[in-house]
Structures are given as C-alpha cells and as structure tokens.
Amino acid sequence: MHFDALTLACMAAELNQTLCPGRVQQVMLVDEHTLGLEVYTPGTRHQLLLALQPGVARIHTVSYKLRRGVGETPLLLLLRKYVRDARLIAITQPDPTERVLRLDFEHPDTGATTLVVELIGRQPNALLLNPAGRILECLHHLPAVGEGRALLPGRPYIAPPAPTKLPPFDDGSADYYARLAQIVTQPGPLWKTLVAGIAGLSPTAAREIAWRVQDDSGAAQEVQVLAVAQALQELWAPVHSGAWRPGLIEEAGVQIGFAAYPIHFRGRFLPQPSLSVALERFFAADSGAPSIDPYAALRRQVLAQIARAERQLTRRLAALAGDEPAPGAAELLRTQASWLLALAGQLTPGQHTLEVDTGETTLSIALDAALTPVEQAQRMFKRAARLERAAQIIPQRRAALLADQELLAQLTLDAQRAANQPELTAVVEELRRAGFERTPARRERVATGSVSGPLHYRTLRGAEIIVGRNARQNEYVTFKLARNDDAWLHVRGVPGAHVIVRAGDAAPDERDILAAAQLAAYHSSVRGERRVDVIVTMRRWVSRAPGGRLGQVIVARESVVSVPAEEPDDVKSEQS
C-alpha cells in the first residue's frame, strides 16, 4: 500500500486537529533519515515522527517516546534555534494531489519559519524556510540536475513542478469529462490508465476505483466515464468534508497495508481510531520495513571499532601461525648440531652436505661454507633453543588471542543489542579496558539514562531467572549474584547471556530449566534458530577461565538441553 496524496491529506487534517496550536518542546534527529518533534498541547505530549527513508516515507504521531540519535547536523541545530519552543500554528497540504506538507511555526524570539516535508521522489526531504521562502537548511542537499530544482541552503525554495495530469476532481473546465473519457478508454487495465492519467492517484487508490466501478482487471473501454468520475469524487470528498475512515488491510491474518479510506479490492478492511494508529501498527508489524534506530550512527561506529580489533587479531594469529615451529623441529635441529660436532673431523674442504646414518634414519645436514663446523653447530643449538621457546610461548599467545576473539564476538552482540547510548558507550569502555582502543576516544555528549542491569524473569511456578545482557553483566550475574546451588546456563559455543535460576527450597523444576534455556538461547547470537544446544550446570562448577577476558568461564560438569531460541511463554518479565 502507498502513503499517497490522499493519505497525506488525511494526515494533514488529523495533525491539524491534534497538534495545532501546540508548542514544540523537543526536536530530534532520530537517525540520518528521520526527524522527531515533541509537541505539547494542553494536557498531552505528542510524538511526531517524520520518517524520510526512500520507499517508506511518512509523517504521523506515535505512541512511544522518540529518542534522539547520536551526532548533530546543521538542520538539527537550526531546528533547535527556530522550532524548539515555537508554536505550531498550522499544517497544510498546498496541493491535495501532491505529497508535500507545510508546518508553520511562530517562535517568540526568532519569528516565523516553515518546515516543508516532501515525501516525493527518490530522496524524501525536509526543508526549513524563512518567511521570504529561502532555504535555511535541509535534511538532504540536492544540487540541480539539468533544469531541475536545487535544494540547497541559501537558495529560494521552489515547489515541485505542478502535475500536468488531469485533476482527480471536477475542476470546472469545460473539457474535464472529455479528457477523463480519453484516459479511461485507453487500452489496458483501468487502474493502470488511471495512474498514468490522473494526478495524485496511487496504484492503491486506482485499484480501489477500478473495483468500485466493477473493473478490477478488465478493459478500460467498457467502463462508463461517469462511474469513474463518481468514484474519484467519492475518494476525494473527505479532503473537503473531513469524513476520513482510516484503517488497515488484513489478508490471511497478516496486515498487508493501510489506507485513509475503505479498501475493497483486496483483503479485509479493519477500521482504526486514526491514521497515525494505523500507520504505527502497520510498520510495527511489518518485519520487512526498515526500523528506526535512534543510535544507528554510534552503533555503526562501535561495530567498526570492533571490526578493526578483529582484523588486528586475525593478522596476529596469522603471524603466530607463520612463526610456530613444526612439531619436533627443535629436537631435530639439536640432533643435527650434535652430529655435526661429532663428525666435524671427517668433513672435507668444499663438502656441501653431511649424510649421517643414525641406525633408524638418515640425516642430511646442509653445510654452510662460510662457517666452521663448530660455528654452524653453535648457531644450530641457538636456533633450536629459540624454537623450543617459541613452541612454549606461541600456544599461550594463541590461547590469549582466541580469548580476545571470543570477547570481541561477545562485544559485537552487546553492541547490536544495546538499548541506549550508555550501553553502547560501555562497549567502547570494554574495548579500551581490553587494550583494543589505546587512544582516548573523542568524548560524545552522553544522553540522559544509564546502563541497564540484568534482566529479571519469574516463571509461572515462581522460579526467579536472571539474565546477563552483555559481557560485564555476565561477569556480575555469574560471580556476584549467583549462589553455588543456583542453576547456570549458557548457549554452547557462541556469544550470549549467562543465565541463572535461583535455587529455592527445592531443585528447579525441569520446566523452569527449559524456560531459562530458551532465554539463554534468545539472548544470544543465534536468536531465532529452531534448535540450540544450551549448557546446564550448577554455579559451583563454573569458574573464570585462566587468563580469560571479562565473562569468560570454564565449566567442570555440564549437561545439555536443546531448545528453540525464542522467548518462552511461561515466564513474566519483572523489569522496572
């Protein structure tokens, strides 16, 4: 379904009713394509979302509090100056056939400004204009291409070109119905000819009109012009009357679309209290729609730091593999040096190789013409000693690097699942503590809030389950909160949560263990897998890995259960 001109007309009417007049309390850059405004009207704070991602551009209110992302842009700075603390006095759609909206503000100090929201083209945009219509700043700078518009700061704002198609309503022109007849009598499906010839008509609206004139797939020539005109008038009537009927379209139990008017040509139409409610529910249910991550920029930065550290570890592991001596190399070199000393008196000038029959095998020792046999043997003994040291040290270094790799895998999961800016900052701090970020990072202004604690759940049978959400919480849950008799769980072989089931008067019920195992699998890097192996043991059998990193453990005794990596149905969250 499409956020078309009719949908925007419905939204303009809805927002005018709910937000105007209102005072803007906050302006936010949620992510690189999304703006947010908090608008206060008597007794209510409204969250206005301006999502300008290509393909899913829209504007509507949401029920949840919008959060600012990381970083500042010129547009955000100017919105804070001109729009924050301003009154939102009007929201208008200049052309009901075009997806352009104007939000007019009046600030007590900086005066009047207008935020133009264009939901059109390959790059939807938001532009802040001064009273003279000049662009102060815009979300996306778009230079002119050919004779096209230039959307740049300092330039006069030029509205999109007026459509040359036929208006969807009778504009009073003498030849309106003759022109409409030319459109509907074009060969091909009616809905396609309507999209091609009628201004502001999306495929969704065109298919609905075709259904209403009983031609959802037939030839356009057979359709009466007056029937099409009447269907067009019915769709556009709420632009003037305000009698909108927004809803969702459901098919086979799945929400497949939304509209500002009843849809008949597909699925079942479910009326909604408002268009904003319909849009929020649709995009919340649509797993294919891009979600809005207010911390996308910082999350990418943290994941890039982890990726750099992983590349460093990969290079160091490769270097160790190149330096590691083959098994028995030191012993063979020492044996060759001993034979070289023993048989030095039998060597002849110019001899290149010494062949030695040891009784078990034949040794072939290459001779260095620049050295005496004694000097060469001494060098061979020294090299053998270095190889012996390398054979001892390299496995230890490799184990440490592999532990570092496990930590980075856990921190990657932590960064991906972090719920707020402090949690992402905590991942950077762990990188620094582990020695991967030696230079102090530029300090970002930290958003209000704190790092969340472990998750707490209660099963239907009353058992308490505690789940660590990152490396530091795993350390805390296992070695601070857990008691020796508590059950301890972790997904086998992949990064994830340390989970404990509190020991009560009796051993945990098997159903509680399975619920905890599902939580361990769900809060891991294999979330969504159908079957996952989860280690189950008592806390007493878990200890810190010698030389390991934060949250890394070894388990002395264990059993394994296989569960789906999804949230169990028989637990209740006890988060505050």
Span 363-381, pLDDT tens digits: 888 888 778 888 888 888 8
- Of 109-118, 165-174, 567-576, the range with the highest mean pLDDT is 109-118
> Do 183 and 92 share a domain, yes or no?
no
More confident residue, 57 or 548: 57
Domain membership of residue 368 (yes or no) is yes
> Do 84 and 209 share a domain, yes or no?
no
pLDDT of residue 221: 47
Helix (H) or strand (E) holding 196: helix 190-197
Question: Do 83 and 91 contact (CB within 8 A), yes or no?
Answer: no
> Do 131 and 195 share a domain, yes or no?
no
Question: Do 282 and 266 contact (CB within 8 A), yes or no?
Answer: no
Closest C-alpha to 508, from 486, 524, 493: 486
Please provide residue 450's backbone torsions phi and psi, each rounded to the nearest 5 degrees: -140, 170
Model confidence band, residue 218 (pLDDT cutoffs 50, 70, 90): very low
Range of 218's domain?
176-285
Kindly state the percentage of the chain with pLDDT values over 90: 34
Distance between CA atoms of 240 and 334, rounded to whole angstroms? 98
Model confidence band, residue 285 (pLDDT cutoffs 50, 70, 90): low
Span 433-482, pLDDT tens digits: 888 875 544 444 444 445 568 999 999 888 899 999 889 999 999 999 99
Q: Which residues pair with 118 in a beta bridge?
A: 100, 125
Question: Do 45 and 88 contact (CB within 8 A), yes or no?
Answer: no
Span 269-281, pLDDT tens digits: 999 999 999 998 8
Query: Looking at 285, 318, 350, which one is the last position of a domain?
Result: 285
Burial class (CB in 10 A: 0-12, 13-18, 19+), 118: buried
- The model's pTM is 0.58
pLDDT of residue 222: 47
Closest C-alpha to 116, from 150, 93, 88, 95: 93
Domain membership of residue 86 (yes or no) is yes
Domain membership of residue 446 (yes or no) is no
> Do 311 and 375 share a domain, yes or no?
yes
Distance between CA atoms of 508 and 483, rounded to whole angstroms? 14
Q: Which residues neighbour 217 within 8 Å (Cβ) at sequence distance 6 or greater?
A: 189, 210
pLDDT of residue 292: 63
Query: Looking at 229, 264, 285, which one is the last position of a domain?
Result: 285
Residue 387 has pLDDT above 90, yes or no: no
Q: Is the dihedral of CA 341, 345, 351, 354 positive or negative?
A: negative
pLDDT of residue 187: 84
* Number of domains making up the chain: 4
> Do 304 and 236 share a domain, yes or no?
no
> Do 194 and 281 share a domain, yes or no?
yes
Average the pLDDT over 333-341 and give the result: 83
Here the CATH number for the domain that contains residue 128 is: 2.30.310.10
> Do 49 and 82 share a domain, yes or no?
yes
- Using omega within 30 degrees of 0 as the cis cutoff, is the peptide bond preceding 21 cis? yes
Burial class (CB in 10 A: 0-12, 13-18, 19+), 274: middle
Distance between CA atoms of 214 and 52, rounded to whole angstroms? 36
pLDDT of residue 104: 95
Domain membership of residue 431 (yes or no) is no
Residue 287 has pLDDT above 50, yes or no: no
Residue 374 three-state SS: helix
pLDDT of residue 438: 58
- Give 124's DSSP letter: -
Domain membership of residue 152 (yes or no) is no
> Do 504 and 468 share a domain, yes or no?
yes
Instruction: Work out the mean pLDDT of the chain and round it to a whole number.
Output: 85
Question: Do 275 and 60 contact (CB within 8 A), yes or no?
Answer: yes
Closest C-alpha to 67, from 112, 34, 104: 34
> Do 15 and 134 share a domain, yes or no?
yes
pLDDT of residue 113: 95
Span 500-534, pLDDT tens digits: 999 777 778 899 999 999 999 999 988 888 889 99
Distance between CA atoms of 459 and 326, rounded to whole angstroms? 54
> Do 276 and 309 share a domain, yes or no?
no
Domain membership of residue 528 (yes or no) is yes
More confident residue, 176 or 349: 176
Distance between CA atoms of 257 and 209, rounded to whole angstroms? 17
Domain membership of residue 536 (yes or no) is yes
> Do 245 and 356 share a domain, yes or no?
no
Q: 436: which 2 tokens?
A: 């991967």
Span 95-142, pLDDT tens digits: 988 999 999 999 999 999 999 999 988 889 999 999 999 999 999 898
Domain membership of residue 264 (yes or no) is yes
Q: Which residues pair with 456 in a beta bridge?
A: 466
Residue 418 has pLDDT above 60, yes or no: yes
Closest C-alpha to 305, from 417, 397, 430: 430
Residue whose structure tokens are 């040509």: 265
> Do 184 and 211 share a domain, yes or no?
yes
